[in-house]
Structure 1
Amino acid sequence: MTTTTHLAHPEELLALDPQAQLPLDLESELLDTPALLVDLHVLERNIASMADFATRRGMALRPHAKSHKSTFIADLQLAAGATGLCLATVGEAEVMWRHGVRDLLLAYPVFGEAKLRRLAPLVDAGALTVVADSIDVARGYSRIATSVGRELPVLIEIDSGMHRAGVLPELAGALAAEVDRLPGLRVRGILTHAGQAHQAVDQQGIEQVARDEVRAMQRAREGLEAHGLQVDVVSAGSTVTTPYLSADDGITEVRPGTYVFNDLRTLGRYACTPDQLALSMLATVVSRAPGRATLNAGSKSITTARTDQHGHGHLVNRPGSGFRQVSEEHAVLGLAAEDEDLRLGERVRILPIHSCVWMDLQREVYGTRNGQIVQRIRVDAMRRSL
């Protein structure tokens, strides 16, 4: 006689039992680990604070949704005053469009027919703005726009010092004029990302990056205007540089993303305070030895990202202990003497180095209030790298 065992499909394997009733204590056996926790009070406060800041500085707020990939969190941002969303991939844009968001900026040059075809419904709905830093990328947009008979807004991406993508400010005007002449396209302005702010050694250095960002955009704007183009949008500002920008600089919108959660990188870049850290990974001690503890949250949960100050992460309330190594399913801690009381099976919380990547590894995360899980939050655009 053969016995058939019915195993759960991978998409059903969640840290929190689907039948669990909320609210639920973090120590409940219905919650497995590793599990990513979101402090909802901190999340909501971060969203409100950034929206208020942008309003006071006279700038529109267009959050970068790649940081959370969640329609639930996107709705919170839009309700707080965000004018629309910024996305990193076609897949992320599709998820937010299907959810009903109708003001999307895809801040990545889209090249190749497979991706362009997927953008056609969003273009046809008038829901999308795209970016270009070359005429070849823009020609692809033109084909899609003309095929659906809609005008597609384009922003010219400016290299303000990161040297990852974008044209130099002095070349922006000529490119913009060429793009604007293509059928179906209308250049509405310029966009940049000063990601090099993460390499600055101190707060003064970060402010200097922000001023360089402003000057680059001012030069680019002058170039577009010299070619007879109207500049409606000057889009800049990450979580790190936004605090140094305002409408007085000519910036019309900012696109911070990490601010919703923050992480140890933004903490180290003076962009948040410890009470603004909303994410933590709940993990279990699965092995112990003198001076060592091993957790069940490895690179498939917390990534291998690191900083010189925090290594691969930071243990909440155990500042003397740190990560020695991270492999796929293991994180090995070197324990300080005061943490030798850590027991096999005990649960600990880890603060993230890079919260955006953590979210991309989760199908579902768990909103908490007062130490209890009160909300399931789907990561709708998880692993949407295409």
Structure 2
Amino acid sequence: MDTPVVVINKTKLIKNINKMSRVAKENQVMLRPHIKTHKIPYIAMEQLKAGAIGITAAKVTEAEVMANHGVDDIFIAYPLVTEQKIQKAIDLSKRVRLILGVDSLKGAQRISGLAKQNNVIMEVRLEVDLGLKRTGIPYDDVLQIAKEVSTYENLNISGIYTFRGPVLNGSPTLDFDEAGIDEGQKMVALAERLREVGLPIRDVSVGSTSTSSSAATVSGVTEIRPGTYVFYDAMQERYGCCTEEECAAVVQVTVISRPTKDRAIIDGGSKTFATDVQPNQPPIYLNGFGKVVGHPNITFERVTEEHGMLHIEGDTSINVGDILEIIPNHICTTINLHNNVFIRDEEDQYNLFTVEARGKLQ
């Protein structure tokens, strides 16, 4: 293996998969993990083997990759509004169970129209904004929108879903138990309101890696959709969702320069490590762009395209040519920068896997 390269510890990976599966089973909810984290069919199949009922994806092209490798129950948790994407989704729905996300009347109208042209019934869920202020119907508007969408032909509203993450009362929080329970309770209450007006809402889908364990305890929640838990990362460790030992994926890099006593340069920059989770930002104030394993006195403080700059406090034995392991701040977007990864198995064998669904933009 040459560096920079992502290396995944299979033992830790499987433990993480089984851990979240137990959360779902103990709370009698369905687990539908988001494959945005790994984008690798092999890992998706391991999640299904452990009890997941299906997967979540963000793109039709991601869903197509997973379907081509045997996944037959897929939720695209992203509003599709262009004719091209909707038609591709309809075509895919003829091969697998496919659920689409809707957060606008316009999007629902377009899905309805194309579904009617193709003589199919499309299963949809309404996306609800619980405070992340991204996509999703504002909470107080869902009832009105749902009533309208329910009149559209060739659509079956089977559920509601949200992604709020570690947010509570509109602000980032580290109280994941309260955030998850609040998320679950609000969605269950909304589902009840929709049922009272005659909408047969079956699925109440919630949860992120940080909130799934608590949201799953709320009676009436039917499904959780965590993603990062398969690998975890420096952000999740700082959140308290995992320990460093549970982080299953690292980026191996080589020290290519030691120009001064307090600085080392590695062969991984912004083309290797995601920089969407910046250091020193509330509420967790990460120290650098990743955690250098085994070297608490080293901060991964700066990146350019091809270079990573490490700041060294005190003495260190690292030198030019040494290999370091770094746990990225955000593993999901880091994986998407790599064509391939290696999975190290229990016998210390390194097996190459293509990140089949990386770079899927449509």
**TM superposition score normalised by structure 1:** 0.88
Question: Does the 8 A contact of 2:112 with 2:152 survive in 1?
Answer: yes
Aligned residue identity for 2:32: R
Shift of 1:45: 0.6
- 5 Å-filtered alignment, 1:186-335, equals 186-197=156-167, 200-202=172-174, 205-246=175-216, 248-289=218-259, 290-304=261-275, 305-307=277-279, 308-335=285-312
Q: What is the aligned partner in structure 1 of residue 133 from structure 2?
A: 163
Question: Does the 8 A contact of 1:89 with 1:385 survive in 2?
Answer: yes
- Distance of 2:113 and 2:106 partners within structure 1: 11
Q: In the alignment, which of 315, 318, 337 is matched to residue 314 of structure 2?
A: 337
Q: What is the aligned partner in structure 2 of residue 19 from structure 1?
A: none
Q: In the alignment, which of 101, 107, 112 is matched to residue 82 of structure 2?
A: 112
How many percent identity over aligned positions?
Answer: 33
> Greater strand share, 1 or 2?
2
Spell out, residue by residue over 1:161-181, the C-alpha distance to the aligned partner (whole angstroms, 9 max, x if none): 111111233322221221121
Q: Which ranges in structure 2 are unaligned for 5 or more consecutive residues?
A: 280-284
Q: In the alignment, which of 330, 333, 341 is matched to residue 357 of structure 1?
A: 333
Shift of 1:133: 1.2
Report how many residues are paired: 353
Q: In the alignment, which of 29, 32, 48 is matched to residue 18 of structure 2?
A: 48
Q: Return the index of the structure with the highest Cα Rg.
A: 1
**TM superposition score normalised by structure 2:** 0.93
Aligned residue identity for 1:170: D
Aligned residue identity for 1:354: H
Question: Does the 8 A contact of 2:74 with 2:96 survive in 1?
Answer: no
Aligned residue identity for 1:246: A
Shift of 1:196: 4.1
- Distance of 1:234 and 1:338 partners within structure 2: 53
Aligned residue identity for 1:365: V
Q: Which ranges in structure 1 are unaligned for 5 or more consecutive residues?
A: 1-30
Aligned residue identity for 1:154: V
- Distance of 1:366 and 1:45 partners within structure 2: 18
- Distance of 1:231 and 1:113 partners within structure 2: 27
Alpha-carbon spacing, 1:201–1:180, altered in 2? closer, same or farther (3 Å):
closer
Question: Does the 8 A contact of 1:238 with 1:254 survive in 2?
Answer: yes
> Greater helix share, 1 or 2?
1
- Distance of 1:55 and 1:206 partners within structure 2: 20
Alignment root-mean-square deviation, CA:
1.6
Aligned residue identity for 2:286: Q
